[in-house]
């Protein structure tokens, strides 16, 4: 029986952990045990394993596809895999473990609903465990599963599992993640991955796959703050749609209904939603992540970079912002240097006004002495903007609280930012100061 993938809920998963903790092996095991591999893929894996002299299939080869990774036995780039079960669709990002590839991990985990942090049962919670868990917290990933792997190498010890869980729980008090679950597994042997394991009868929780199929993610999206960044204006100029003027984009958060009063930012002009269109279909409402075209009752000036919101719930509209920044380029970020910030559908020139502190991603200690951010470092940065930006804090609204930093000289992405709540009161926007 074929699966109706179109109407199934999608879970985005990011795997992270220390080098050789078994991330790639776990993904390969999941793909095999969930019957998500084609025969030719399995044959290729078996052939590669024979050439290497391995006694059994190396499941990590499914994701460690780059030549450098195969030679070094580690994951460097982010490998994405798609599969589905009868209950849910999945996109899994296998992210690098080494500290020098932190930027790759941030990229792979930025859209995740859930992070799998693998821990080697022999080693317990180590520096990389804390670093990756902090980054998952920094990125606002709602759910975190600590997979205590290689339980076969500690004789499936309940005491060892409890010890590691207690150590991680003590560290997790420093993280901003509400939903944390610990699950014991053996990825190599498939114990407690798909089905419950009889080798660990002391664990009464679900298997890893049972948890992934049932974890509730419907309330993870912000359905409270209505935000519609305008991507472009649709003017067909045809006989059939002579007077049509629609504002196209993706609903970043919240819900919009036909008949709702809205405010156009940054001008502050008010109007009413006349229609909501999706392809050739008229809708009564549009909610977060839907791509639609919105038509207003009156003709107002809205262009790319503008935002439709509800008048009683507007975001910050200011020329200053504070953010946690993960720096992704060999050339450091320094105070006084100018960049371009791309946020939702808008772009604005910005200057790094102050590096408030740098965060040691291994210890979570703050360094207030450094005046620059190097590659793979995280810091709290204050920016001065050339024009007002409409934003929410990342913690409240991931979609409207994230941005990328672009080097104007090369047009390359050099950093990723998560906007913080302002450290001082932000006055309401002065709409009269804007010229239409």
CB atoms within 10 A of CB 414: 22
Same domain, 165 and 253: no
Q: In angstroms, what is the C-alpha Rg of the chain? A: 24
Same domain, 363 and 346: yes
Q: Which of 309, 339, 364 is the last residue of a domain?
A: 309
CA distances from 239 to 236, 242, 243, 296, 424 (A): 9, 5, 9, 20, 53
What is the sign of the dihedral through the CA atoms of 354, 360, 365 and 368? negative
- Higher-confidence position of 44 and 204: 204
Same domain, 291 and 263: yes
- 0.85 exceeded by pTM: no
Confidence of residue 433 (pLDDT cuts 50, 70, 90): very low
CA distances from 149 to 130, 177, 329 (A): 16, 21, 33
Q: Is residue 114 part of a domain?
A: yes
435 pLDDT more than 60: no
pLDDT at 405: 94
Same domain, 172 and 275: no
Closest CA to 196 of 156, 143, 164: 156
Q: Is residue 405 part of a domain?
A: yes
Same domain, 16 and 54: yes
SS3 99: helix
**Mean pLDDT lowest among 259-273, 327-341, 358-372, 420-434:** 420-434
Euclidean distance between CA atoms 374 and 372, whole angstroms = 7
pLDDT at 70: 41
Closest CA to 213 of 337, 65, 409, 30: 30
Confidence of residue 436 (pLDDT cuts 50, 70, 90): very low
**Mean pLDDT lowest among 130-139, 149-158, 381-390:** 130-139
CATH value at residue 269: 2.40.30.10
Q: Is residue 90 part of a domain?
A: yes
Euclidean distance between CA atoms 430 and 433, whole angstroms = 6
Total domains in the fold of the chain = 3
Same domain, 189 and 141: yes
Give the CA diameter of the chain: 75
Q: Is the Cβ–Cβ distance between 142 and 11 less than 8 Å? A: no
Q: Are strands 402-406 and 346-359 parallel, antiparallel or unpaired?
A: unpaired
Q: Which residues pair with 114 in a beta bridge?
A: 13, 143
Q: Measure the CA dihedral 20/23/28/29, to 10°.
A: 90
Same domain, 34 and 142: yes
Query: Is the bond preceding 266 in cis, omega lying within 30 degrees of 0?
Result: yes
pLDDT at 149: 96
**Mean pLDDT lowest among 23-37, 106-120, 205-219:** 23-37
Euclidean distance between CA atoms 325 and 379, whole angstroms = 5
Across 95-217, the runs of DSSP E, i.e. the strands, are 114-120, 143-149, 179-184
- Higher-confidence position of 35 and 344: 344
Q: Is residue 220 part of a domain?
A: no
Euclidean distance between CA atoms 330 and 351, whole angstroms = 19
181 pLDDT more than 90: yes
Confidence of residue 56 (pLDDT cuts 50, 70, 90): low
Q: Which of 278, 309, 340 is the last residue of a domain?
A: 309
**Mean pLDDT lowest among 12-16, 191-195, 313-317:** 12-16
Q: Which residues contact 389 (CB under 8 A, 6 or more apart)?
A: 316, 317, 318, 319, 321, 341, 343, 346, 348
Per the listing, tokens 């919009």 go with: 256
Residue 202 domain boundaries: 5-214
In the DSSP assignment, the letter for residue 161 is H
Confidence of residue 67 (pLDDT cuts 50, 70, 90): very low
Confidence of residue 38 (pLDDT cuts 50, 70, 90): low
CB atoms within 10 A of CB 303: 11
Euclidean distance between CA atoms 116 and 94, whole angstroms = 10
Confidence of residue 239 (pLDDT cuts 50, 70, 90): low
Closest CA to 382 of 295, 322, 318, 313: 322
pLDDT at 316: 93
Same domain, 34 and 115: yes
Q: Which of 261, 279, 309 is the last residue of a domain?
A: 309
Per the listing, tokens 């000289």 go with: 409
Same domain, 16 and 105: yes
Q: Is residue 113 part of a domain?
A: yes
Q: Is residue 222 part of a domain?
A: no
Q: Is residue 284 part of a domain?
A: yes
CATH value at residue 110: 3.40.50.300
pLDDT at 256: 97
Same domain, 207 and 347: no
Euclidean distance between CA atoms 290 and 275, whole angstroms = 15
Q: Is residue 221 part of a domain?
A: no
Same domain, 36 and 138: yes
Same domain, 254 and 282: yes
Confidence of residue 73 (pLDDT cuts 50, 70, 90): very low
Give Cα 120 distance to the centre of its chain: 24
């Amino acid at each position: 029986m074929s699966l109706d993938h179109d109407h199934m809920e999608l879970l985005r998963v990011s795997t992270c952990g220390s080098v050789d903790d078994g991330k790639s092996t776990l993904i390969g095991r999941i793909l095999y045990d969930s019957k998500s591999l084609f025969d030719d893929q399995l044959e290729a894996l078996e052939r590669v394993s024979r050439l290497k002299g391995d006694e059994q299939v190396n499941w990590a080869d499914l994701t460690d596809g780059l030549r450098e990774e195969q030679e070094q036995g580690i994951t460097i780039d982010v490998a994405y895999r798609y599969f589905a079960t009868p209950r849910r669709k999945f996109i899994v990002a296998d992210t690098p473990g080494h500290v020098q590839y932190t930027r790759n991990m941030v990229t792979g985990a930025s859209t995740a609903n859930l992070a799998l942090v693998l821990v080697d049962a022999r080693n317990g919670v180590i520096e990389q465990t804390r670093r990756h868990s902090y980054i998952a917290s920094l990125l606002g990933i709602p759910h975190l599963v600590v997979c205590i792997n290689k339980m076969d190498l500690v004789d499936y010890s309940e005491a060892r599992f409890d010890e590691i869980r207690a150590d991680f729980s003590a560290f997790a008090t420093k993280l901003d993640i509400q939903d944390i679950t610990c699950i014991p597994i053996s990825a190599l042997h498939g114990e407690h991955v798909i089905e419950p394991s009889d080798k660990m009868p002391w664990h009464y929780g679900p298997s890893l796959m049972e948890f992934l199929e049932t974890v509730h993610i419907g309330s993870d999206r912000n359905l409270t703050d209505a935000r519609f960044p305008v991507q472009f204006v649709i003017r067909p100029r045809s006989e059939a749609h002579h007077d049509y003027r629609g504002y196209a984009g993706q609903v970043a958060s919240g819900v919009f209904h036909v008949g709702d009063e809205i405010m156009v930012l940054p001008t502050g002009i008010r109007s009413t939603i006349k229609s909501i269109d999706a392809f050739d279909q008229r809708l009564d409402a549009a909610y977060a992540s839907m791509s639609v075209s919105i038509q207003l009752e009156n003709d107002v000036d809205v262009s790319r970079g503008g935002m439709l919101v509800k008048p009683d719930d507007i975001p910050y509209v200011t020329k200053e912002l504070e953010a946690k920044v993960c720096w992704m380029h060999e050339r450091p970020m320094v105070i006084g240097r100018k960049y371009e910030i791309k946020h939702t559908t808008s772009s604005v020139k910005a200057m790094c006004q102050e590096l408030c502190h740098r965060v040691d991603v291994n210890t979570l200690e703050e360094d207030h002495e450094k005046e620059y951010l190097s590659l793979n470092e995280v810091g709290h940065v204050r920016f001065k903007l050339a024009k007002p930006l409409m934003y929410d804090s990342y913690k409240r609204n991931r979609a409207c609280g994230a941005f990328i930093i672009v080097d104007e000289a090369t047009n390359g992405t050099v950093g990723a930012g998560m906007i913080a709540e302002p450290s001082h009161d932000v006055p309401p926007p002065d709409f009269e100061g804007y010229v239409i």
